Amino acid sequence: MTPNTTEKLPLTFGIEIEHVFGINKDAVETNPAFTWMFPQYCTIRPDSPNPPDFDPTSDTYRSFLQAVSILRSRGARLRVELEPGMEDATFEGFSQWTMGQDRSVRLPSDVDELRKWSGGTIKTWRGWEFVGLELISPALKVPEYDSNGSFQPHGLTDVSTYLRLLTETRPEGTPYFFLSDPEAAGIHVHIGLQPQPEGQMGIPLNFLRHLAFICLAFEDTITLFHHPQRHAISQTYSRGYIGSNRFLGRLSDTFPRHTCTKGPVFSPEDAFLRIFRATENEELVELLTTIPSGNPGHYRYLVRECFVNFCNCFDFGHADDKRTVEFRQHHGTLEFEDISQWVFLVSSLARAAERKANEVSPPDGTWPPSFAHKILSASSGTVAQPLRTGVLDTPTNALWQDTLSNPDTRADVLREASKYESLFQIDKKRSLKELFDLLELPIAHRRYWYQRAKKFWAEWYVGWQGTGTCLGDYCPHEGLRDNEGWAPGELAVPPWDVADPHPSGASSSAPVVRSADQPTDVEMSYGIPLVSTSAPTAEAPSASHASRPNIMTISNVMNYPAPPMNDLLPPLNYPLTPMNYPALPLNYPAPPMNNPLPPLNNLALPHEPPSQPPEHPSIPHGLPSTHLGLA
């Protein structure tokens, strides 16, 4: 089904929150108050017993089902995905909240790591069992500003509900926890179109082209927003799950593929040409997801493990397949503010691509300067070999020459390229401000991302500078960066003008000028020259100096109490008494899940499960935190 291009696309997002679940087996087995957590009582479906041949006590499912049972007892309505990816490709898996196991999640290896990831709240190793999980949302409406300039969180209300279930403060002695960390997990956000009664809508080709180009052109800028664990650095655990999108097809038989000075320099003009010469979604997706493998001349196709995964846009012929673009780069966290800001940013990327796709180019458009340079080079060179199999493996010069020789093709490429004239300048780095301007990002959100870019740049500068991101064998050379912000001093000037670029982002705080040579708390904590003392700031906002001055927080808009990670779980200090009652047999009848908790005589663990959980739990603005048992 093709969407109506005269109206705004009905964009939706889905989120996958990877995290670690820990349960203290010793505590559960030795305290009668925790009998309801026994794996024998945990069921796949909340309203029916397990199949006769299914053993919930097996090592494969025990901790996983205990986590599901605990969340259901707090009011969550969760579908269970027993095997990773088993039902992920179906529309059913995108229409309700789902919990599944995730073997890519890195589990704590010792007590020091456990203490670090839990913010110091878990201090002992004895009795703990861990499992990697992934909480998957249904398709939700993207957050955005309405015509009156008011922020509408839309689907973020549901996300906040489930994050509260994971992060709520628990009574002392609680024998389980949920946590996430940049060294352990990631956050994946899918952007797609709302299914209609007539069926699933395909993503328009020109929208997909513009989104792909923006992501590739500003890949280095967007990487600044993320923890160094998500930069695709060779030594990080996540290197096998994310990577650059800039390989673009079968362009080279060499392996490894270098992102340092040993490899080819990324050309936004060449990338643009290949992307916009693709004539159908499948050709474009194949271009964006083909990378060389370990053997010369061999390639991997439909590779998901990139910063942005386009594989779901390939039409495999299944009507209920999800048609989404997946943003995989965000680090693991259960912090609602960080997650919600990322959802809004990728939604803004999609809206920017939509605007560019619908933008009308001037009738007398000319080639942007750097395009003119490419055209001159291709025209003066020898005639390259002819096209082979389209944009996937056509030599660059041949593609330029073919474009110039075909009037219709030349006009199509010129029409789209003229929309980015400010970017296509010779020897010009793209900047944070250019990305924000392209996204029409309100100034309050710019402040959030500017502070975050400086924070993670400082962490990279101290601990990771000089490390490589090349694909293949280990390479010690640092990757080339063609966007501003990576050299000392390049984050000196705030990425906005004095005038607010978007009225809806206006801050209510009194403006106070901060000079460019006044360091922020992040800069002072690392002692690194993030700012230049020679350039004046373009900023005239910002109240008294704080870690996030004048930043619009989505948490405040939604009345969401964002607890710090060190408040996630109080330390366990109860005595581990020996078990003095017999274990229940495997065929012990499971209690009905609509009232899963037996009465507790332990005053330290008061709990009243909801009598009738809502069909789709959400938290309206201003709703007290007691909703869904979240007190």
- The enclosing H or E element of 129 equals strand 128-136
Q: Are 18 and 180 in contact (CB under 8 A)?
A: yes
Q: Which residue has the tokens 């199999």?
A: 389
Domain count, the chain: 1
Q: What token pair was written down for 116?
A: 């670090």
Tell me how long the chain is: 631
Give the pLDDT score at 188: 98
Give the pLDDT score at 302: 85
> Hey, which of 79-93, 100-114, 296-310 has the most confident mean pLDDT?
100-114
Centroid of chain to Cα 300: 23
Q: 443-463 vs 432-439: helix axis angle to the nearest 10?
A: 150
Residue 146 lies in a domain: yes
Give the pLDDT score at 164: 97
Q: Are 132 and 89 in contact (CB under 8 A)?
A: no
pLDDT at residue 216 above 50?
Answer: yes
pLDDT at residue 428 above 50?
Answer: yes
Q: How far apart are the first and last CA of the chain?
A: 44
Share above pLDDT 90 across residues of the chain, in percent, rounded to a whole number: 52
The whole-angstrom separation of Cα 83 and Cα 470 is: 32
pLDDT at residue 429 above 60?
Answer: yes
Specify the range with the lowest mean pLDDT, choosing from 423-432, 467-476, 587-596. 587-596
3-state secondary structure 134-194: EEECCCEECCEECCCCCEECCCHHHHHHHHHHHHCCCCCCCCEEEECCCCCCEEEEEEEEC
Q: 407-417 vs 396-405: helix axis angle to the nearest 10?
A: 110
Mean pLDDT score across all residues of the chain: 79
Residue 498 lies in a domain: no
- The enclosing H or E element of 130 equals strand 128-136
Q: Output DSSP code: residue 430.
A: B
3-state secondary structure 260-277: CCCCCCCCHHHHHHHHHH
pLDDT at residue 602 above 80?
Answer: no
Q: What is the pLDDT of residues 227-255, one digit of tens each?
A: 999 999 888 988 889 988 887 766 655 55
Residue 457 lies in a domain: no
**At 458, is the pLDDT very low, low, confident or very high (cuts 50, 70, 90)?**
very high
Q: Tell me the longest C-alpha to C-alpha distance in the chain.
A: 88
**How far are the Cα atoms of 215, 233, 350, 477 from residue 468, in angstroms, in the given order?**
21, 6, 30, 5
Q: Which amino acid is at 614?
A: P
Q: Are 577 and 177 in contact (CB under 8 A)?
A: no
Give the pLDDT score at 34: 95
Give the pLDDT score at 375: 84
Q: Output DSSP code: residue 46.
A: T
Q: Are 613 and 549 in contact (CB under 8 A)?
A: no
Q: Are 200 and 323 in contact (CB under 8 A)?
A: yes
Q: What is the pLDDT of residues 523-579, one digit of tens each?
A: 333 344 443 333 333 333 333 333 344 566 888 878 776 444 333 333 333 333 333
The stretch 301-320 carries a mean pLDDT of 85
Going by C-beta distance under 8 Å and a sequence separation of 6 or more, which residues neighbour residue 267? 374, 396
Specify the range with the lowest mean pLDDT, choosing from 372-386, 446-460, 609-623. 609-623
Q: What is the pLDDT of residues 161-212, one digit of tens each?
A: 999 999 998 888 899 999 999 999 999 999 999 877 666 778 999 999 999 9
> Helix or strand or coil: residue 225?
coil
Instruction: For 545-580, give one letter per residue: b (16+ CB within 10 A) or e.
Output: eeeebbbbbbbebbebebeebeebbeebeeeeeeee
Residue 331 lies in a domain: no
Residue 57 lies in a domain: yes
DSSP codes joined into one string, 270-325: HHHHHHHH--SHHHHHHHHT-EE-SSTT-EE-S---SSEE-GGGS--S-TT---EE
Residue 589 lies in a domain: yes
- Expressed as residue numbers, the domain containing 20 is 12-179+568-631
Q: What token pair was written down for 594?
A: 């609509």
15: left (phi over 0), alpha (psi -120 to 50) or beta: beta
pLDDT at residue 281 above 70?
Answer: yes
The whole-angstrom separation of Cα 101 and Cα 44 is: 13
pLDDT at residue 512 above 60?
Answer: no
User: Of the candidates 210, 125, 133, which has an alpha carbon nearest to the alpha carbon of residue 166?
Assistant: 133
Half-sphere exposure of 180 (CA within 13 A, CB side): 26
Give the pLDDT score at 456: 97
Residue 532 lies in a domain: no
Q: Are 74 and 630 in contact (CB under 8 A)?
A: yes
232: left (phi over 0), alpha (psi -120 to 50) or beta: left
Q: What is the pTM of this model?
A: 0.81
Specify the range with the lowest mean pLDDT, choosing from 88-97, 124-133, 223-232, 263-272. 88-97
The whole-angstrom separation of Cα 379 and Cα 166 is: 60
The whole-angstrom separation of Cα 179 and Cα 18 is: 9
Residue 316 lies in a domain: no
DSSP codes joined into one string, 470-496: -BSS---SPPP--BTTSSTTTT-S-SS
The stretch 21-28 carries a mean pLDDT of 96
The whole-angstrom separation of Cα 236 and Cα 460 is: 12
> Helix or strand or coil: residue 84?
coil
